[in-house]
A = this chain, B = another copy of it.
Amino acid sequence: MKNNGGQEPKERKLAMLRFIDRYRREHGMSPTVREIGEHLGLLSTSHCDYYLRKLEEEGLIERQPKRARTIRLTEAGLQAIGGVAQESAPVPAMDERVAVPFLGYIVASEPLPVEPLVGDETIEINPALLGTVDDGLFALRVRGHSMIDALIGDGDLVLFRHQERVENGEMAAVWIVDRQETTLKRIYWEGERVRLQPANPTMAPIYEEADNIRIQGKVVLVVRRLD
């Protein structure tokens, strides 16, 4: 059955992508299979599903099986639209934001007592700034000057990704267990010992037993406001 309603499959797929994208932006939710089909002049939900499957296989959309209104464009899908609609600036899809918990402050000098990492304040960050969509992010604002040579200054907002292991030389938020304190340093593993290295020549490194620290997260983004 090759009566394409006047459209080539490729064009129809793009029209479908565009409809989904626009619908989401205009309605704040995804369209249903029936709504998509109606707009494209398809008389059967299964026909619509046929094309949605193809788009999904091609990685241009994603949907949650068996749940209502979950269709959304992937990054590739957005680019597919952008590639054809050159005359309009790419408009980010609705969900292109990451809510990052803001947990307070981290001292980039001497370790100081910091409340357990808990908070309900969030900061919205565009994933494009992160280069990737990450789970397990949290944000801390820096106090102090011990990471100045790493271009992290007092008052900077730093985003961390939760992970319990970092490579030598990577910067991380470190919880020192027996001190009940958290600090931001560059980490170097030295056998049973860990060197917590400031990036500031006037400051001495701190040494701790590897068993006595907990890596809270690795630095992935630094934001500084100057105005």
Contacts and interface: CB of A to CB of B under 8 A. Distances in A.
B69 A29 contact: yes
Contacts of A129: 123, 125, 157, 223, 225
Contacts of A114: none
A131 B227 contact: yes
Interface of A: 22, 24-30, 32, 68-70, 72, 88-97, 99, 102, 120-126, 128-132, 148, 151-153, 157, 161, 171, 218-227
A179 B206 CA distance: 50
A126 B125 contact: yes
Closest 10 CB pairs of A and B: A28-B95, A68-B68, A220-B227, A88-B121, A222-B224, A151-B151, A124-B126, A69-B69, A151-B153, A89-B120
Given A120-B89, A153-B151, A221-B225, A99 B29 contact: no
A148 B30 CA distance: 43
A89 B224 contact: no
Contacts of A221: 223-227
Given A220-B225, A221-B225, A223-B222, A95 B27 contact: yes
Nearest to A25: B99
23 contacts: A25-B95, A26-B95, A26-B99, A28-B30, A28-B72, A28-B95, A29-B72, A29-B95, A30-B69, A68-B69, A69-B69, A88-B120, A91-B121, A91-B122, A92-B124, A94-B94, A96-B124, A129-B225, A151-B151, A220-B225, A221-B223, A221-B227, A222-B223
